[in-house]
Amino acid sequence: MKIAVFGTGMVGETIASKLVQLGHEVMMGSRTATNEKAGAWVKKAGKGAWQGTFAEAAGHGEIAFNCTAGLASVEALQAAGAGNLKGKVLLDIANPLDFSKGMPPRVLVNPDDSLGEQIQRALPETKVVKTLNTVNCYMMVDPGKVANADHTMFMAGNDAGAKGRVAEILRGWFGWKHVLDLGDISASRGLEAYLALWVRMWGALQVPDFNVKVVKNG
CATH number at residue 23: 3.40.50.720
Q: Is residue 211 part of a domain?
A: no
What pLDDT, on a 0 to 100 scale, did the predictor assign at position 107?
Answer: 76
**Is 32 part of any domain?**
yes
92 neighbors 127 (Cβ within 8 angstroms): no
Closest to 94 in 3D by CA, of 162, 9, 158, 169: 9
One digit per residue, pLDDT tens: the chain, 218 residues?
999 999 999 999 999 999 999 999 999 999 999 999 999 999 999 999 999 999 999 999 999 999 999 989 999 999 999 999 999 999 999 998 877 777 777 777 788 999 999 999 999 999 999 999 999 999 999 999 999 999 999 999 999 999 999 999 999 999 999 999 999 999 999 999 999 899 999 999 999 999 999 999 97
| Residue 57 CA: distances (Å) to CA of 26, 64, 79, 80, 85 | 8, 9, 11, 8, 10
Please indicate, yes or no, if residue 216 is contained in any of the structural domains: no
- Evaluate whether residue 154 is within a structural domain: yes
**Beta strand pairing status for 152-157 and 178-181?**
parallel
Q: How many folded domains does the chain comprise?
A: 1
Range of the domain at 119: 2-205
> Distance (Å, rounded) from C-alpha 130 to C-alpha 92?
5
Distance CA 14, CA 140 (A): 9
Prediction pTM value: 0.95
> How wide is the angle at C-alpha 114 spanned by C-alphas 112 and 119, nearest 5°?
130
